């Protein structure tokens, strides 16, 4: 049992699920055994109806598909399609936020006023938009228009890439991977992977980097920056995390998915007096809105909303028997939820026209009428409190406090207005380097174990950790986001954290907020007059599972940062592709991937890499 997770709340609810006869992701993983070896190696292709084809990895069966595609082509094509899907998910999220800003500026989304005018002006200025003497509405309208244009832009490259150091941009130009329109890269990737188009694995992978860069410096960056403008730029905030945040005597609501357009307004709608009165009338003492996964991170970063857990806890929240509604929009929502909810009284309410779930209640969310719809959804949850079956309720007591909210702006404020103190700490070696630790849970690996073990090793070695997504939630649950966690850090990092009263692991937000990490990396490189690839940085996704994570990994190495994957990607069926990603890429793009399932060994790789970069910069290893 303890093999499944290091999280006590998770283990308790896995046990309860067993008692309640509920099947979870772990059970379904067992039912899938043995998983397809061709799929694991990435050598199966279904891109046309002459197939499906598969390459024999042992060399005594076919070495090409019907069309003649070999393992290199098939593996690279599959990888490119995964990147395109991941980039599409992040970028479509970004487009949704941009459309909301556009509607807000046109006076068509009254529930979304602009919360951060200073950031609006700063981002508009970046886009070359005049801000002097103009109203917030006028600026927002022009900015939203310019941002929406980035998806299919004619101007040849994306705006936010200009944050990257000139050396990096010149390299992208030289390699022909400067991202053009965001949609264009995704569409071109689908075109290139159609039967009989791009068959050269190097060319396919370069397009993978370009598509991923259009995510990291495009769609994701848009999602982050425009969310800050609309919902407020995060500032350090405290809250509580893990399934123990659910309340026995309150209407419990889980917000799960990704887009803050939905989650942010629900947080405010839940303060409605009428709804609270209705809840009290039904015997509840209040309405307890909690987050899950990345939309949870969005509302945690901005409002300190309690966070019920990360990816592998979405089913378990329902298993507590204490959740009236799981309100979802898009991404990382298991299709199993309505089925599990059927064993309890929980209602799963889907809200996005893009994501319907058989067995769930669908209430289309409408940004033009957001508050009204939010209250309608909440009313369903409140009414459902009367259906709670007390005998099925068991909420684990496990909960942990966290400090989050480290936007770039908040980080700068903590440092006294400039990055100089951080750069000085890097130079002196009190902080040896910075690691971005991101990504999911994966039931193939013990939940949170790799995240936490890897991160602990890093901070011991004076490497500052910045985290997002489900990795950051793993840290929150384990107390790693508290300033006191600095006691586990090396002497140098400990002193820096104590001086600033910040944790050794800084929660920077949801997965689209990895764009914040890129922005900081670029700013440090620019301040030192070097490329991002010259800095003592590493990226890691210790427990990744999603296609979004594949896109993230690709844009992180595309941006010049060595990246360690803790779960094995399906590329091993092509020696050439695997060699390009884990070694050849270094000479081309200045960074490469490593795959290491053991988090202690992975940390050793990170420490060694950072020491090497420090020496190259003329700093003490
Ligand atoms: Ni990221 Fe967020 Fe979590 Fe993985 Fe899914 S919630 S966008 S993909 S599982 S970190
Ligand atoms: Fe087979 Fe080629 Fe068609 Fe893929 S594209 S299914 S390898 S024939």
- The backbone torsions φ and ψ at residue 307, rounded to the nearest 5 degrees and listed phi first, read -115, 120
Q: What is the DSSP letter of 64?
A: B
221 is in an annotated binding site: no
CATH number for the segment(s) 243-392:
3.40.50.2030
With a 6 A CB cut-off, is 197 part of the ligand 2 pocket?
no
Q: Which two tokens stand for residue 424?
A: 């000085």
For domain 71-231, give the fold. Substrate Binding Domain Of Dnak; Chain:A; Domain 2 (1.20.1270)
**Domain ranges (residues) in the chain:** 71-231, 243-392, 412-616
Contacts of 23 (CB under 8 A, 6+ apart): 17, 336
Q: What is the pLDDT of residue 1?
A: 46
CB atoms near residue 397 (< 10 Å): 10
- Evaluate if pTM is beyond 0.95: yes
Q: What is the pLDDT of residue 36?
A: 96
345-378: pLDDT as tens digits: 999 999 999 999 999 999 999 889 999 999 999 9
Q: Name the residue with the closest Cα to ligand 1, atom 2.
A: 294
Question: Given the CA of residue 45, which atom of ligand 2 is nearest to it?
Answer: 4
* Residue in 38, 49, 53, 76 to alter for ligand 2 test, most ligand atoms within 8 A of Cβ: 53
Q: How far apart are CA 619 and CA 621, in angstroms?
A: 6
Residue 202, burial from CB neighbour count under 10 angstroms (0-12, 13-18, 19+): middle
With a 6 A CB cut-off, is 206 part of the ligand 1 pocket?
no
Q: In the β-sheet with 361-362, what is the strand arrangement from edge to edge?
A: 361-362, 347-350, 325-328, 251-256, 287-292, 307-309, 237-241, 400-404
CB atoms near residue 184 (< 10 Å): 16
Please report, to the nearest 10 degrees, the dihedral formed by the alpha carbons of residues 617, 619, 620, 621 taken in order: -30
With a 6 A CB cut-off, is 513 part of the ligand 1 pocket?
no
Contact at 8 Å (CB) between 15 and 5?
A: no
What's the 547 CA to ligand 1 centre distance in angstroms?
Answer: 10
Please report, to the nearest 10 degrees, the dihedral formed by the alpha carbons of residues 270, 349, 548, 213 taken in order: -60
Q: How far apart are CA 368 and CA 327, in angstroms?
A: 19
Q: What is the DSSP letter of 328?
A: E
Q: How far apart are CA 323 and CA 420, in angstroms?
A: 46
With a 6 A CB cut-off, is 605 part of the ligand 2 pocket?
no
Domain 412-616: give its CATH architecture: 3-Layer(aba) Sandwich (3.40)
Do the domains 243-392 and 412-616 sit in the same CATH topology, yes or no?
yes
Below-70 pLDDT ranges, the chain? 1-2
With a 6 A CB cut-off, is 296 part of the ligand 1 pocket?
no
With a 6 A CB cut-off, is 53 part of the ligand 2 pocket?
yes
67 is in an annotated binding site: yes
497 is in an annotated binding site: no
167-177: pLDDT as tens digits: 999 999 999 99
- The backbone torsions φ and ψ at residue 463, rounded to the nearest 5 degrees and listed phi first, read -105, 120
The CA-atom distances, in angstroms, between 161 and each of 125, 510, 518 are 15, 20, 10
Q: How far apart are CA 573 and CA 368, in angstroms?
A: 49
- The backbone torsions φ and ψ at residue 191, rounded to the nearest 5 degrees and listed phi first, read -60, -50
Contacts of 509 (CB under 8 A, 6+ apart): 224, 234, 297, 298, 301, 406, 407, 468, 472, 516
What's the 571 CA to ligand 2 centre distance in angstroms?
Answer: 17
Which parts of 29-180 are beta strand (E)?
A: 44-45, 53-54
Q: What is the pLDDT of residue 153?
A: 85
Q: What is the pLDDT of residue 271?
A: 96
Question: Given the CA of residue 68, which atom of ligand 2 is nearest to it?
Answer: 2
What's the 68 CA to ligand 2 centre distance in angstroms?
Answer: 8
Residue 236 Cα to chain centre, angstroms: 19
Contact at 8 Å (CB) between 207 and 80?
A: yes
With a 6 A CB cut-off, is 283 part of the ligand 2 pocket?
no
């Amino acid at each position: 049992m303890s093999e499944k997770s290091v999280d006590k709340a998770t283990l308790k609810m896995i046990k309860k699920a067993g008692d309640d006869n509920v099947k979870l992701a772990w059970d379904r993983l067992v039912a899938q055994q043995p998983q397809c070896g061709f799929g694991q190696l990435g050598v199966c292709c279904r891109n046309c109806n002459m197939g499906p084809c598969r390459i024999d990895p042992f060399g005594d069966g076919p070495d090409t598909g019907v069309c003649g595609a070999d393992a290199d082509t098939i593996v690279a094509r599959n990888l490119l399609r995964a990147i395109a899907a991941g980039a599409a998910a992040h970028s479509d999220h970004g487009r949704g936020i941009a459309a909301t800003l556009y509607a807000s500026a046109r006076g068509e989304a009254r529930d979304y006023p602009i919360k951060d005018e200073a950031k609006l002006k700063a981002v508009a200025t970046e886009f070359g938009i005049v801000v002097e003497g103009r109203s917030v509405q006028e600026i927002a309208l022009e900015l939203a228009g310019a941002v929406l244009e980035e998806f299919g832009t004619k101007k040849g490259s994306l705006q936010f890439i200009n944050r990257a150091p000139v050396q990096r941009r010149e390299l992208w130009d030289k390699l022909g991977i400067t991202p053009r329109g965001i949609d264009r890269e995704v569409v071109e990737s689908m075109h290139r992977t159609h039967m009989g188009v791009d068959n050269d694995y190097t060319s396919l992978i370069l397009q993978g980097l370009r598509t991923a860069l259009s995510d990291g410096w495009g769609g994701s960056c848009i999602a982050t920056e425009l969310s800050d403008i609309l919902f407020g730029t995060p500032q350090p905030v405290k809250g509580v995390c893990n399934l123990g945040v659910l309340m026995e005597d309150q209407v419990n609501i889980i917000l799960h998915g990704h887009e803050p357009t939905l989650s942010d307004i629900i947080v405010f709608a839940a303060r409605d007096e009428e709804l609270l009165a209705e809840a009290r009338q039904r015997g509840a003492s209040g309405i307890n809105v909690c987050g899950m996964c990345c939309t949870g991170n969005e509302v945690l970063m901005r409002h300190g909303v309690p966070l019920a857990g990360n990816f592998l806890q979405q089913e378990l929240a329902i298993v507590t028997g204490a959740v009236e509604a799981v309100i979802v929009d898009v991404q990382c929502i298991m299709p199993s939820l309505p089925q599990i909810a059927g064993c309890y009284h929980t209602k799963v309410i889907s809200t996005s026209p893009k994501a319907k779930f058989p067995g769930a209640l669908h209430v289309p969310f409408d940004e033009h009428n957001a508050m009204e719809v939010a209250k309608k959804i909440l009313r369903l949850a409140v009414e459902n409190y009367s259906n709670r079956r007390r005998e099925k309720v068991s909420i684990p007591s496990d909960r942990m406090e966290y400090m989050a909210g480290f936007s770039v702006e908040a980080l700068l404020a903590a440092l006294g207005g400039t990055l100089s103190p951080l750069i000085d700490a890097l130079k002196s070696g009190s902080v040896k380097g910075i690691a971005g630790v991101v990504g999911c849970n994966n039931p193939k690996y013990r939940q949170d174990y790799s995240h936490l073990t890897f991160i602990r090793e890093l901070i011991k070695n004076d490497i500052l950790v910045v985290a997002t997504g489900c990795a950051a939630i793993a840290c929150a649950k384990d107390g790693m986001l508290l300033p006191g966690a600095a006691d586990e850090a090396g002497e140098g990092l400990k002193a820096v954290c104590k001086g600033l009263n910040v944790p050794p692991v800084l929660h920077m937000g949801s997965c689209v907020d990895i764009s914040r990490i890129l922005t900081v990396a670029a700013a440090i490189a620019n301040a030192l007059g070097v490329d991002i690839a010259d800095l003592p940085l590493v990226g890691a996704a210790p427990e990744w599972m999603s296609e979004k994570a594949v896109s993230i990994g690709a844009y992180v190495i595309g941006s010049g940062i060595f990246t360690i994957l803790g779960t094995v990607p399906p590329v091993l069926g092509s020696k050439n592709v695997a060699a390009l990603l884990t070694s050849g890429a270094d000479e081309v793009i200045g960074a490469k991937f490593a795959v290491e399932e053991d988090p202690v060994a992975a940390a050793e790789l990170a420490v060694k890499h950072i020491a090497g970069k420090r020496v190259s910069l003329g700093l003490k290893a």
